[in-house]
């Protein structure tokens, strides 16, 4: 089966990132490795991944390898200052599942939006009674360098298509 709309796709890959500063591109550095022991699974056409990523993966089959670079504008774009938000520390209480160490600068907070979807925010600064959070995707502003292999392609179940994500061994309801 080839990667197409409503296919569940399993990949192994190495992701490196680079950034252009002062018109000079940095040397790509490793950001994430997903190997056979921890592959990455997604529902093609409903993944939340950059459109260009899915476009470049379309039509591939199990065993195919891939190597490509997504430029900033094809990936997650540039940082949006409107996604920097100051919130009261009181919202991050023990009763809500948080502890004080989680609010240290540089940490990523596991959060949920009003619809129950997982999201994260990076703690930028402790402002006393408030904390400054960055809700931008962690990979904004970076070129993404992917090298990997397709290890599984299967048809999504009706339930996966209705829910918009992978279920089962490599999905949301393990």
108 and 130: one domain? yes
- Return the CATH number at 98: 2.40.10.330
Length of the chain in residues, anyone? Answer: 174
- Residues 36, 98 share a domain: no
User: Quick one: pLDDT at residue 96?
Assistant: 86
DSSP assigned state of 165: S
- Same-domain check for residues 153 and 73: yes
Residue 159 in domain:
yes
Is residue 154 in some structural domain? yes
Would residue 1 count as lying in a domain?
A: no
The pTM is what? Answer: 0.82
- Measured CA to CA, the distance from residue 37 to residue 132 in angstroms comes to 36
> Computed from CA positions of residues 99, 102, 104, 109, in that sequence, does the dihedral angle turn out positive or negative?
negative
What pLDDT does residue 162 have?
A: 87
Residue numbers of the domain that contains 122: 81-134
Mean pLDDT value of segment 6-14: 96
CATH number at residue 60: 3.10.50.40
- Cβ atoms of residues 62 and 150 within 8 Å: yes
Q: What is the structure's pLDDT at 117?
A: 77
Tens-digit pLDDT profile for residues 61-104: 999 999 999 999 999 999 999 999 999 999 998 888 899 899 99
pLDDT tens per residue, range 37-65: 999 999 999 888 999 999 999 999 999 99
Half-sphere exposure of 19 (CA within 13 A, CB side): 13
């Amino acid at each position: 089966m080839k990667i197409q709309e409503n296919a569940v796709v399993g990949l192994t890959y190495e992701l490196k990132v680079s950034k252009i500063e002062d018109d000079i591109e940095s040397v790509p550095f490793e950001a994430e490795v997903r190997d056979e022991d921890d592959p990455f699974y997604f529902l093609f056409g409903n993944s939340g991944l950059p459109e260009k990523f899915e476009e470049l993966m379309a039509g591939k089959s199990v065993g195919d390898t891939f190597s490509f670079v997504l430029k900033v504008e094809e990936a997650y774009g540039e940082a949006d200052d409107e996604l920097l938000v100051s919130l009261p520390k009181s919202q991050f209480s023990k009763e809500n599942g948080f502890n004080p160490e989680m609010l240290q600068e540089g940490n990523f907070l596991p959060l949920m939006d009003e619809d129950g979807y997982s999201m994260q925010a990076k703690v930028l600064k402790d402002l006393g009674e408030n904390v400054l959070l960055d809700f931008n995707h962690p990979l904004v502003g970076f070129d993404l360098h992917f090298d990997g292999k397709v290890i599984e392609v299967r048809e999504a179940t009706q339930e996966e298509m209705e829910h918009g994500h992978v279920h089962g061994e490599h999905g949301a309801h393990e």
